[in-house]
Amino acid sequence: MRFWIPAYAGMTDFLRKYQGYPPHNPMRYFRKDNKGFTLLEIIIVLLLVCIIGAVILISGVYSTSGDDLPSQTEVIKGHLRYAQTRAMNTNTIWGIKFFMSKEKSYYYLFQLDESNNETSVVLPGEEASPVVLLEGMVVSAGTVSFDSWGKPYTDAAAQTAQAEGGGWRDVSVSLGGDTQTISIRNNTGFIP
């Protein structure tokens, strides 16, 4: 049944009331009255559970605790190279002192001024000085300093050169029963 539609401002109200405007609710055909999950939803959830389980399993199997000694040795090598580079760039003596207490081993970067006063400097990538090594890690105590040419010395004032004759100076780093050695070449300060 059609009605005559007057042309006035409330025309949309009239259409809604008498002609069913809009004609129908399009979402009523997509109403989900059934309960349960679709096969696609179940497959997605199972895939997510498998992926998370695999990540947890792999992270537990491949522990990095055995990599602590090699990685810490490489960090110490990098810090020795940093001290050598700073000595060559600033024309002052820079070095690293290694020392041990009853529980832990430590080391720190230092710089000597003109009057041989030692100043501790925080190493890049570290939060504080001295750097505390891992629990149970032992490093041979001593000092490695570098002059403005990058030549290594065994004292903080860079007056006692390493043994002449093309030898190497060794710094030992141990954890448990394993030991790694950092070798510093005499005269050149090369650290392989």
Domains, the chain, ordered by start = 67-185 (3.55.40)
pTM of the model: 0.61
Edge-to-edge order in the sheet of strand 178-185:
137-139, 168-175, 178-185
Among 162, 164, 171, 169, which residue's Cα sits nearest to residue 184? 169
Residue-wise pLDDT tens digits, 148-186: 888 887 776 666 665 554 456 778 787 878 888 887 887
